[in-house]
Chain A
Amino acid sequence: GAVVSQHPSWVICKSGTSVKIECRSLDFQATTMFWYRQFPKQSLMLMATSNEGSKATYEQGVEKDKFLINHASLTLSTLTVTSAHPEDSSFYICSARRGHPGGYYEQYFGPGTRLTVT
Chain B
Amino acid sequence: GQNIDQPTEMTATEGAIVQINCTYQTSGFNGLFWYQQHAGEAPTFLSYNVLDGLEEKGRFSSFLSRSKGYSYLLLKELQMKDSASYLCAVMDSNYQLIWGAGTKLIIKP
A65-73, A82-90, A106-114: which lies at the B interface? Answer: A106-114
Contact A43 B42 (CB under 8 A): no
B30-54 vs A, Cβ < 8 Å mask (1 yes, 0 no): 1101010000111111001010000
Residue of B nearest to A2 (CB): B45
B96 interface residue, CB < 8 Å from A? yes
Contact A49 B96 (CB under 8 A): yes
Residues of A near B99 (CB, < 8 A) are 43-44, 46
Q: Establish whether residues B30 and A105, one from each chain, have CB atoms under 8 Å apart when the complex forms.
A: yes
Count class of interface residues, chain A: 10 to 19
> What residue in chain B is nearest A114 (Cβ atoms)?
B40
- Which residues A55-106 have CB closer than 8 A to chain B? 91, 93, 97, 104-106
Known: A43-B99, A43-B100, A49-B96. A104 touches B42 (CB 8 A): no
A71 CB to closest chain B CB (Å) equals 16
Interface size on B, residues (CB 8 A): 21
Contact (Cβ within 8 A) A105 B91? yes
B102 contacts across to A, CB distance below 8 A: 43
- Give Cα distance in the complex from A97 to B44, angstroms: 14
Report A30-59 CB contacts with B as 1/0, cut-off 8 Å: 000010000000111010010000000000
Cα-based distance from A69 to B42 in the complex (angstroms): 20
> Given the interface contacts A43-B102, A44-B87, A104-B50, does A109 sit within 8 Å of B44 by beta carbon?
yes
